[in-house]
Every structure is written in C-alpha cells, then in structure tokens.
Structure 1
Amino acid sequence: MAADVLQRDLGLTADGLAALTGAFPAAFALAMLPVGVALDRYGVKPTALVLLAIAGTGSLLGAVAAGPWSMLVAQLVLGIGCSGMLMCPVTYAAKMLPPERFGLWGGVIQAFGNTGMLLSASPLALLVEHAGWRAGYLACALLALGAAVAVSTVVRGAPPAMQARRSIAEDARDVVALGLSRELRAPIVIAFASFAAVLGVRGLWGGPWLMEVKGLARVPAGNILLFCTVALILGPAVAGMLERRFQRVRRLLLAMGHLGAAAAILLMVAGGALGWGVAADAVLLTAFGLLISLQVICFALVRSAVPPERAGRALSAMNVSFFGGAAVLQAVSGAAAAAGGVGAALLVFAAALVVCTLVFLRLPGPR
C-alpha cells in the first residue's frame, strides 16, 4: 500500500524495496532459534513481553528512518520483535491442548491474528494518503504497546515444564536437529514457500499489481486486497476444522491447498495479459487466501511429531523455514520484478509453491 512513496522517499528501486522488506522475514527466521529455546525454557508470557518491546522499538525506528540503511535497521529490529507474534500463542496451545485438538485451535489463533491484515488494506491506504507512510509505523508502535499491556494483564505466567539440566547451547542445537529430522522434513519443505507466498502476494506485490498493472488508485486497490484479507482471516479457522475432521488425509489437503494457491496466482498474472477486469482479481485473490490458509496443517503435523515439552523448539524449527523462505523468495521476486515487472515477481511464488509441494508429497513425515 505504500510501496511507491517508500521508494520515492527512501530512494529505492523496486528490487531494492523487495530486498529491504526481505530483511524482516530474514531477521524473523534467525530469531526463531532463540525464541524457540526461550519459549520452552522461560515460558510464553515473559518471552512475549520482551518481543513486543522489541517490536515497538522497531516500529519507532521505521517511523524516523531517513534512508535505506536506517530502514534496514528498523526492518531487522521489527523482524526480531515480531518473531513471537504467532509462535507465542501457538506454543501455548501446543503445551496446553492434546494433539487432536491442536489443529483446530491453531487455525483459530492464526485466523484471529490475520485480522490485523484488515488494517493494512483500506485503512492503511487512507492513512498513507492523509498522514504519510511514517504514520503507519507509529500506529504499529501503539498496537505493540496495547498488546503488551493486554499480555501482562490477561495472560497467566504459567511456569515452564521442568527439564533435565541442559545448557542454552544444547537447547539451540536441539532446534537445529529438529529442523533436519526425518519426522519434520516434509512440513518444513512446504513451509519454505507457504508463508513466502502470503507475504509476497498479499504483503508486497498485491498493491503494486493492482495500482501499476490494473491502474487502480491506492484506496480502491486497498479495497480489492480486503477480499484476500478476509479470506486469510476466515481460511485458517476453516482449515483447522477440516484438519480435525479429515486427519487421515490432511497431508493431501495441505498439498491441494498449495497447488490451488499457485494456480490462482498463475491465473491472475495470465488475466493481466488477457485484459481481465478487476473483478477477476478480487475472485482470484479470495481463492488464493482461502487455499493458502491450509498452511495451518503444517503446525498440526509438527505438533503430532513431538512431545509437548519440545513443542516450542519444534514449531520454531518449522518457522525458520516459513520466514527463511519468505526472505529468500522476497529477494528473488525483487530481481524478477526488475527484469520482467510485477507479474514476473508474482510468478516466483507460484513456481515455489509448486516445487515445494511436489517435494513435500515425496517425503515421509508425520501424518
């Protein structure tokens, strides 16, 4: 929603902006290792409060960024701070619920979290139009403060489970070992492209596609992206219910959702060349949001493969792939955009979804 004014004010090209925003998921992925250790070692509440303080600091740094390097620092700090936004509630659910109920609640948690995307569609477009992009970062800092107050007031500080005497280094090595293990290899592979596609289509390139290729103004483009946002809110809850109802075929559901999401991207890019109207984009973005939401099954697969006391580290190992893939593919999409335009950038995510899904289907793993 603010790609054009960010490029103008910070002196960035399209691929430079993609590389800069890719620092956020890169820092996010790197933070997963210590966050996973902290969640199992110190508990959810203190870990969440520290991360929210870091996220608020990153938002303030973004609001005062004067050039590419200061914005890079802001993105890195934001990535570290936001690394627990999903992991903290998901780990809490993993520790408190039996595996057969975790899939449903994992979907509910992600659906509730995705409601925040509503703010980054039309509301952000209006805010950028009337107050500038820096106001968006200030708003994020206030949201982080509000979340920290809510966590400190409402969430119970349950003590972490007692563990054998282990060093922090041993816990960190366990996160890495889990990420490379046979049990988690399949969901980790498909996760590499899964969240990258959400960030790429809904986060970075959806707005430029609608504004540059389809010729929409900022606010109407935000309105179209609301369709995708609503789908990303409703989709995880539906996916959680499907996972609970059809546990025997949940791997197939996950694969079909990702291949369907790739098809939606391909059709949207093809429609741009064929002159399809904006209504087609709204339909395809909605379909993309619903189908890619089946990614919550990844969390259920990982949870079923480990005991509760290792849940934080196992889920963090998978999130390294979720956000590491986003960082890599964000950079690749930037190079594609520089060479072939926004459509080429979107096709990067479609190709990654297809390749990672096919590899996922060939690998053994939790069912």
Structure 2
Amino acid sequence: MIFLRVTLPFLAGYFLSYNYRAVNALLGPLLAEEFSLSAAQLGFLTSVYFLAFGAFQIPLGVLLDRYGPRRVNASLMLVAAGGALLFASGQSYTALVAGRALIGLGVSGCLMSSFQAWVLWHPPERIAMLNGIAFATGGLGAITASVPLELLLRVLGWREIFLILVGFNFAIVAVLATVVPERAPHRRGETLAQSLTGVGRIFRDAAFWRIGLALFGLQAAVGALLTLWMATWLRDVAGYSRAEVGQMLLAVNLALIAGYLGYGRAADALARRGRSALPVFAGGIACAAGCLVLLALGVTVATPLLWVLFIGCGSVGSLAYSILTRRYPREMAGRVNATLNIFTFGGSFLGQWGVGLVIDRWPQSASGYDPQAYSYAFGALWLAMLVGLAWLWSGRRLFESK
C-alpha cells in the first residue's frame, strides 16, 4: 500500500523530471536548425533547466522541511506544466528559454521530495537503496527520451510531443494531491529563522564542501554530456546517424539505471555494517574520469563501451546524498539533500553551457561541430572531475566520525 500511495507517485514525478531533462539530447539539433541557434545558445537553452533547478534548492529544502513533500511537489509540478506549455508553443528563442527555465523550476522538487518521503516513511538503513531506485526511475525517464523519442519524432513534431508530456504532468499532480497521504516532518513548530539556521549549519560543515565539490565536477561532465553533448559528439566525431544516436542513448541510460541500482545496493550493504560508501563514490568518479580522458582524445574505437562505462560509473553521484545525510538528524533531510543538489545542478548547468561556449570558438561546418572543439571541452570537464576527486579524497577522514 505504501508503494502504491507513496512510492509510485513520487517516482512518477521524477520519471517525468528526467524525461524533461534529457529530451533535448535528440531535440537539440532540430531546435538549433529551426531557430538558427549557435552551440552556445543551444547549450544555454538546454542548461537553463539546471540553472533554474539549482537556484531553487535552498528555498526548496526549507519548504520541504516545513510543509512536507506532497504539498511542495504537487505545487511545483504545476509550474512545470506551465513551462512545458510555453515551450511547446514558443515562437522565439526567448520563449523557449523561459519555458525551459519554468520546467526546471517546476520539477526541482521531484527528486528531493522523493528523498524526503523515503526518510519520513522508511528506516534509515533503507534510504540508500531507495535513493538508488529513485535515480533508476529517472534513468527510465531518460530512456523514453532515446529510441522511443526517435521513433515518435518520425510521426509527430516536437511541439506535439511536449503536449503529451504536459498531459502526463497534470496526471501526476492530480495523484499527488488526491492519493498520497499527508505526513509532514516532525518539527512543525520550527520557525523560518530556525530553518535557515539549519541551512547555515550545512554550509559550515567541511564535509559538505568536500563531497559537494566532487559532485560538482562529476556532474559538470556527466550531466552536461548525457543530456546534450554526447549526442552531438556521436554525430560529429563518431559519424552516427540520428537513429544510431537514439540507440546509444538507450544503451547508456540502461547503464545509468544499472549503476544507480548497483551503487544503491552496495551502499545499503555498507550501511548495514556501519561503513561509509565514500570509497565507492570516489572509485566511481575515478572510473568515469578514465573513460572521459579517452573520449577527450577522440578515441572512437569501442565507442559504445567507453560511453556506457562513463555513464554507468558516473551514476555514482547518487551516493553523495546518503553519505551526507547520515551526518544530520532526519528532520533536516530536506535541507541537506536540496543544498547538496546545488552542486549537482550547478555543475550540470556550467558544464553544459561551457561546452557550448568552447565549441563556438571553432567554425561550424555543414556536417556539424569541429571534433577538435570537443577535445578541448571534454578535457576541461576531465580536469574538473580530477580536481573535485582530489579535494574529496584529501579530506576523507572527515567522514569517518559520522
């Protein structure tokens, strides 16, 4: 009963959230052609989702801890529906950016409200596994933006596809509002000032900055590439057709789901033994960085394997949340997760837009972007990953006391 009335509705919201996030990987070239967009403009259009998402995380954390996940998520998803309608009807670049930003704001609570629902309804030792299931559900949303989307584009335009998403969006809002039971956090009497003081405690935690900056570097690469630039790299460097790009997006998103579930099970097992998942988190980043440096060098031998390993290993970012929340009381879970999420979506925004800015420094040909531009852009992302990993590992003792 808890699964049907609590778990499933929140998972459905995150499923749609990830679909909104990933859809531009295939739609991006169509939008660039229809609206005559540069690489930087395309990068900003896609990444403004992350900007709006990340900018709302601190207010989101306070709202979640004060009013609970059901009310907050249902209200925000109405904003997402409005943004999707604006995007679907947009006749200018400005309208598309505004619509995409509203979508990002509107779904900014989908994952964090799920995390808080798990904390409110489940024992602490199950949280890492449930987080992994949530992330895997997001991966399913991304899968629908791969081969299924490519097939749908053969019979429908991108505007019609967005209208379908709007309908699904409204259905989820209705379920959240009418089916999910109310269970708010325990500290109902906490004032706004006390809530903000809790946020200050998080920002003063040295461990928060260590794991946050590592997550930032990881997501600057994984978030930026998975939801946009991987698809154009496959087209411009590896010579893939749109159908082949869709198939590769399907493969890497299956790897994403497998990674989320596998890492979740590993963290769950470690938590039962009272051990931290930090070494697993660091190892996943190192593996992803090893794949990315080969892609930056333009290696196209075993292209599918490199991308599958990069995304699969890169899914380790899901562990950062359970690692950090173990340091705090349950009533702060919303603020802890949402504040950490700033690094996830801040990294994705800057990484995705930054890649576009770098690519624009090379002339664009009729067939696409210059392969050398990808090498420099991917190399910069690789350096960001290494810096974040080194900073995390040098402070690993901070995580041994909690």
TM-score normalised per structure 1:
0.92
- Corresponding position of 2:294: 267
- Corresponding position of 1:157: 182
| Rounded Cα–Cα distance in structure 1 between residues aligned with 2:117 and 2:255 | 25
After superposition, the C-alpha distances for 1:344-363 in whole angstroms (9 at most, x for unaligned) are: 33333322211111111122
| Rounded Cα–Cα distance in structure 1 between residues aligned with 2:204 and 2:343 | 11
Aligned to 2:144, the other structure's residue is in SS state: helix
**Which residue of the other structure, out of 134, 139, 148, is the alignment partner of 1:123?**
148
C-alpha contact 1:37 1:313 (8 A) present in aligned 2 = yes
Q: How many Å apart are 1:222 and its aligned residue?
A: 0.5
Question: Alignment RMSD, CA only?
Answer: 1.9
After superposition, the C-alpha distances for 1:138-175 in whole angstroms (9 at most, x for unaligned) are: 232122123223323442111332344412x5524532
- Corresponding position of 2:284: 257
Is the counterpart of residue 210 in structure 1 residue 244 in structure 2?
A: no
- Corresponding position of 1:327: 349
After superposition, the C-alpha distances for 1:266-309 in whole angstroms (9 at most, x for unaligned) are: 22343x3x552xxx121112112221122121011121011011
Q: How many Å apart are 1:224 and its aligned residue?
A: 1.3
Matches within 5 A, 1:177-192: 177-192=201-216
C-alpha contact 2:119 2:127 (8 A) present in aligned 1 = yes
C-alpha contact 1:43 1:159 (8 A) present in aligned 2 = yes
- Corresponding position of 2:303: 281
Is the counterpart of residue 353 in structure 1 residue 385 in structure 2?
A: yes
C-alpha contact 1:127 1:133 (8 A) present in aligned 2 = no
Matches within 5 A, 1:26-175: 26-167=51-192, 170-172=194-196, 174-175=198-199
Q: How many Å apart are 1:115 and its aligned residue?
A: 0.8
The residue type equivalent to 1:142 in the other structure is: G
After superposition, the C-alpha distances for 1:9-31 in whole angstroms (9 at most, x for unaligned) are: 12210111112222111110111
Aligned to 1:184, the other structure's residue is in SS state: helix
Q: How many Å apart are 1:113 and its aligned residue?
A: 2.3
| Rounded Cα–Cα distance in structure 2 between residues aligned with 1:51 and 1:249 | 33
Aligned to 1:131, the other structure's residue is in SS state: coil
- Corresponding position of 1:306: 328
After superposition, the C-alpha distances for 1:41-62 in whole angstroms (9 at most, x for unaligned) are: 0111011101111111111111
C-alpha contact 1:49 1:152 (8 A) present in aligned 2 = yes
Q: 1:19 to 1:146 in 2, by over 3 A?
A: same
Deviates more, 1:7-16 or 1:154-163: 154-163
C-alpha contact 1:332 1:348 (8 A) present in aligned 2 = no
Q: How many Å apart are 1:242 and its aligned residue?
A: 0.8
Is the counterpart of residue 226 in structure 1 residue 250 in structure 2?
A: yes
| Rounded Cα–Cα distance in structure 2 between residues aligned with 1:145 and 1:118 | 21
Aligned to 1:130, the other structure's residue is in SS state: coil
C-alpha contact 2:66 2:190 (8 A) present in aligned 1 = no
| Rounded Cα–Cα distance in structure 2 between residues aligned with 1:84 and 1:349 | 27
Deviates more, 1:68-77 or 1:133-142: 133-142
After superposition, the C-alpha distances for 1:308-339 in whole angstroms (9 at most, x for unaligned) are: 11110111110011111211222221122223
| Rounded Cα–Cα distance in structure 2 between residues aligned with 1:132 and 1:249 | 47
5+ long unaligned stretches in structure 2: 1-25, 362-371
| Rounded Cα–Cα distance in structure 2 between residues aligned with 1:345 and 1:146 | 40
Matches within 5 A, 1:239-254: 239-247=263-271, 248=275, 250-254=277-281
Q: How many Å apart are 1:64 and its aligned residue?
A: 1.2
C-alpha contact 1:99 1:303 (8 A) present in aligned 2 = no
| Rounded Cα–Cα distance in structure 2 between residues aligned with 1:27 and 1:176 | 22
How much identity, in percent, do the aligned residues show?
26
Q: How many Å apart are 1:219 and its aligned residue?
A: 1.5
Q: How many Å apart are 1:186 and its aligned residue?
A: 1.8
The residue type equivalent to 2:198 in the other structure is: D
C-alpha contact 2:220 2:381 (8 A) present in aligned 1 = yes
Is the counterpart of residue 315 in structure 1 residue 340 in structure 2?
A: no
C-alpha contact 1:183 1:305 (8 A) present in aligned 2 = no
Number of equivalent positions: 361
Q: 1:199 to 1:142 in 2, by over 3 A?
A: farther
Aligned to 2:206, the other structure's residue is in SS state: coil
| Rounded Cα–Cα distance in structure 2 between residues aligned with 1:275 and 1:156 | 51
| Rounded Cα–Cα distance in structure 1 between residues aligned with 2:208 and 2:200 | 11
**Which residue of the other structure, out of 371, 374, 399, is the alignment partner of 1:342?**
374
